[in-house]
Structure 1
Amino acid sequence: MHSSEPSNSLGLPGRAEDHRVVVAMSGGVDSSVVAGLLAREGFNVVGMTLQLYDHGAATAKKGACCAGSDIHDARVVAERLGIAHYVLDYESRFQEGVIAAFADAYARGETPVPCIACNQTVKFTDLLSAARTLGASALATGHYVASRVERGRRRLFRPHDAQRDQSYFLFATTAEQLDYVRFPLGDLPKDRVRELAAEMGLVVADKPDSQDICFVPDGRYSNIVAAMRPDATEEGPIRHVDGRVLGRHAGVIGYTVGQRRGLNIAVGEPLFVVRIDAETNELIVGPREALRTRRIILRDTNWLGDPLEIGDETSIYARVRSTRPPAPGLVRRTADGLEVELDEGEEGVAPGQACVLYASNAPRAEILGGGFIQRTTANMAPRLVDA
């Protein structure tokens, strides 16, 4: 009889040979190395690749993910590793849960993050369900984030390689999902991952990382939104925060909070998009200081930290964009969700973006959860009327 104590890298009871593990294989170097490491350890690895869309330019585009060439690469890697490999057609689910939601958000004047929606819907809901159906003990991915059991349950942490940190895109992973999903690259630097791929003889060892929104092959997201939500391309007024109408905009989908270029107005001072009012089809602009906000109201929240009851508050570090460092502040539990108060404030905080909360600003900090930005103090400020 095998011991129930973990004796493998995934922290599963017993030996690696006792477990089937599904690896989400995107066709990139990271997930390919995960499959190779787990197969080498002795797990019964099953690779699964998602077909999420199929439109000409994207299937051949370099630098995207889940494209036709990536499916081919994942299949070649699986053959090299001697593991089973399946391609799952989730096009309709991806269209509904990610692409349509992306277009709707822009039409509402928000700035969505489709990679988070993809993790929430397709990867950690549908793919996870498929892995369970196969009798797998875990689903493993190539994300650069770490998880481990502390204080009685599995928790999420920033990875070893801070330059590759993907925790911003994974804050919505629920506690139940964390118990099942594993992130084997959390303790590895990217350079070592590429070395491992070369050692394994994988064709993707030097493959460039994906950087674009996968379903926007030409980088022009407004074309996608305009085709799906044509009403969002209607012209409207550009209004200063003091009430003056300064010009006309070409449709709210072409702008985001914090934007300065492309406004085509000249008033003798730099102006930035402060708010997008999709209901009135107005673009509100103002000076840089009008962008700074301290109070952020979150919707669709996910809390992974220790229990936080209504009225409770705790110190956190908040990240309002994936490219920004976490900033100090407080989070407060309300009847409606979470409120964040930033010590110094942030500029260009846009509705629809994620606000991810960390226990500290340390390199390997715990991710406490977060939510999507519903509104901020700047967005809630009353707008002045025309003089």
Structure 2
Amino acid sequence: MKKAIIAMSGGVDSSVAALFMKERGYDCIGATMKLYDNEDIGISREKTCCSLDDIEDARAVAYKLGMPYYVFNFKDEFEEKVIDKFISTYEAGGTPNPCIDCNRYLKFEKLMKRMEELQYDCVVTGHYADIEFVNGRYMLKKGKDLSKDQSYVLYSLTQYQLAHTVFPLGRYSKDEIREVAEKHGFINARKRDSQDICFVPDGDYSKFIEKHNGKTYPNGNFVDKSGNVLGEHKGLIRYTIGQRKGLNIALGHPVYVISKDVANNTVVLGSNDDLNKSKLRATDFNWIAEKPNGKINCSAKTRYNMREVPCTAYCDGDDVIVEFNTPVRAITPGQAVVLYDGDYVLGGGTIE
């Protein structure tokens, strides 16, 4: 009998994933990754991913399914691989995506190592995505429910990881999954999805960074593209490319953050048109498909909640250059660009 570790967040998706694997005849254990103490992020009991409440919900579902349940303490790894990188990216002028790093370094690296140690066959998660074996290669594919598709945050998966991962929800819609959960009496059948970064539940990233680091970030100047001073900002970490709200500056016309200059501690403001770019460079690129020898025509997403846009991509050493057929708004350093060929993920990397 094949054996599976179910990564259980306490939400409805991973709970139904566990049910589906049991129905397939797998010998399953449930596992929740303890990534932080609630007090570490300034909350007592809160409905966020991997909080104490979530652990109890996951334990209840595992018990209902007759599965052994464990909590794995990955706090140190989460601090190093996710929180520290989150902070350093903001300090370097970028905008991080910690959910991608959590998938990469915790779920599909640390948890998969635990899978190997326990001599299990696969790691199972409740992601809305799919895996297919095509022409001798494992390919990551969009989930059926495109409104919930999570292939964007999974681009870093290697061939080994894809071969030892199962996404049982890939061919279902969210509504169908909730119906299954209700039918089986799961405690979390109607539990709301977590919308925020788990360790910043109130959404105030700058407050979290300052409290976590025990430091403040100095005010500086808002400037235009020519370097003319337009006003004063309240610290670089409070701003991201494309931002309009919260600038507290009146110039008689709309202005947006178009870039940040860390060396001079300035935030550059411009028009909406200034945000449109036709080209980007991506670093730390992971190819799921075969690495191409020349230019390829494909589509790309530069943010999680956006439609793909047509582009051309090619390798420049280890980096990848992406050229868009039409300009894309607010391409942001630190975010991910993910390339698609129809429903298949070709690969992805970090926008420079």
TM-score (norm 1): 0.88
**1:153 pairs with one of 118, 131, 137:** 137
* Residue equivalent to 1:372: 350
The Cα of 1:150 is off from its aligned counterpart by 1.0
Are 2:270 and 1:286 equivalent residues in the alignment?
yes
The Cα of 1:54 is off from its aligned counterpart by 0.9
**2:298 pairs with one of 294, 299, 316:** 316
Are 2:12 and 1:34 equivalent residues in the alignment?
no
* Residue equivalent to 2:104: 120
The Cα of 1:201 is off from its aligned counterpart by 1.9
The Cα of 1:228 is off from its aligned counterpart by 3.7
Matches of 1:182 and 1:345, distance apart in 2: 36
* Aligned pairs for 1:76-225 within 5 A: 76-225=60-209
The Cα of 1:42 is off from its aligned counterpart by 1.5
**1:239 pairs with one of 219, 223, 227:** 223
Matches of 2:247 and 2:24, distance apart in 1: 56
* Residue equivalent to 2:284: 300
The Cα of 1:35 is off from its aligned counterpart by 0.7
* Residue equivalent to 1:46: 29
**Residue type at the aligned position of 1:215:** F
**Residue type at the aligned position of 1:61:** E
The Cα of 1:242 is off from its aligned counterpart by 2.2
Aligned-partner SS, 2:104: helix
**Residue type at the aligned position of 1:158:** K
The Cα of 1:59 is off from its aligned counterpart by 5.4
Matches of 2:325 and 2:291, distance apart in 1: 23
The Cα of 1:231 is off from its aligned counterpart by 5.9
**1:357 pairs with one of 339, 347, 351:** 339
**Residue type at the aligned position of 2:6:** V
* Residue equivalent to 1:69: 53
The Cα of 1:266 is off from its aligned counterpart by 2.1
Conserved? CA contact 2:38–2:45, under 8 Å: no
The Cα of 1:154 is off from its aligned counterpart by 1.4
Matches of 1:293 and 1:341, distance apart in 2: 9
**2:319 pairs with one of 329, 334, 337:** 337
Matches of 2:38 and 2:263, distance apart in 1: 32
The Cα of 1:224 is off from its aligned counterpart by 1.3
Matches of 1:158 and 1:67, distance apart in 2: 28
* Residue equivalent to 2:45: 60
* Residue equivalent to 1:348: 330
Matches of 1:179 and 1:336, distance apart in 2: 24
TM-score (norm 2): 0.97
The Cα of 1:336 is off from its aligned counterpart by 3.5
Matches of 1:367 and 1:41, distance apart in 2: 27
Q: 1:49 to 1:59 in 2, by over 3 A?
A: farther
The Cα of 1:232 is off from its aligned counterpart by 6.0
Matches of 1:190 and 1:58, distance apart in 2: 29
**Fraction of identical pairs, as percent:** 39
Conserved? CA contact 1:358–1:369, under 8 Å: yes
The Cα of 1:265 is off from its aligned counterpart by 2.1
**Residue type at the aligned position of 1:321:** R
Matches of 1:120 and 1:232, distance apart in 2: 30
**Residue type at the aligned position of 2:51:** A
Deviating 4+ runs (over 4 angstroms) = 229-232
The Cα of 1:348 is off from its aligned counterpart by 0.8
Q: CA RMSD in A?
A: 1.3
Conserved? CA contact 1:22–1:48, under 8 Å: yes
Specify every segment of 5 or more residues in structure 2 that has no aligned partner in the other structure, as ranges.
Answer: none
Conserved? CA contact 1:116–1:169, under 8 Å: yes
The Cα of 1:326 is off from its aligned counterpart by 0.5
Specify every segment of 5 or more residues in structure 1 that has no aligned partner in the other structure, as ranges.
Answer: 1-17, 375-387
Matches of 1:70 and 1:109, distance apart in 2: 33
List per-residue Cα deviations over 1:215-235 (Å, max 9, x = no partner).
Answer: 012221111112244666211
Conserved? CA contact 1:103–1:228, under 8 Å: no
Matches of 1:226 and 1:30, distance apart in 2: 33
Conserved? CA contact 1:111–1:351, under 8 Å: yes
Conserved? CA contact 1:77–1:202, under 8 Å: yes
The Cα of 1:126 is off from its aligned counterpart by 0.3
Are 2:16 and 1:21 equivalent residues in the alignment?
no
Instruction: Work out the number of aligned pairs and report it.
Output: 350
**Residue type at the aligned position of 2:310:** P
**Residue type at the aligned position of 1:198:** E
Conserved? CA contact 2:220–2:265, under 8 Å: yes
Aligned-partner SS, 1:164: coil
The Cα of 1:308 is off from its aligned counterpart by 1.2
Which stretch of the first structure deviates more once superposed, 229-238 or 339-348? 229-238
Matches of 2:301 and 2:176, distance apart in 1: 27
The Cα of 1:299 is off from its aligned counterpart by 0.7
Matches of 2:214 and 2:277, distance apart in 1: 31
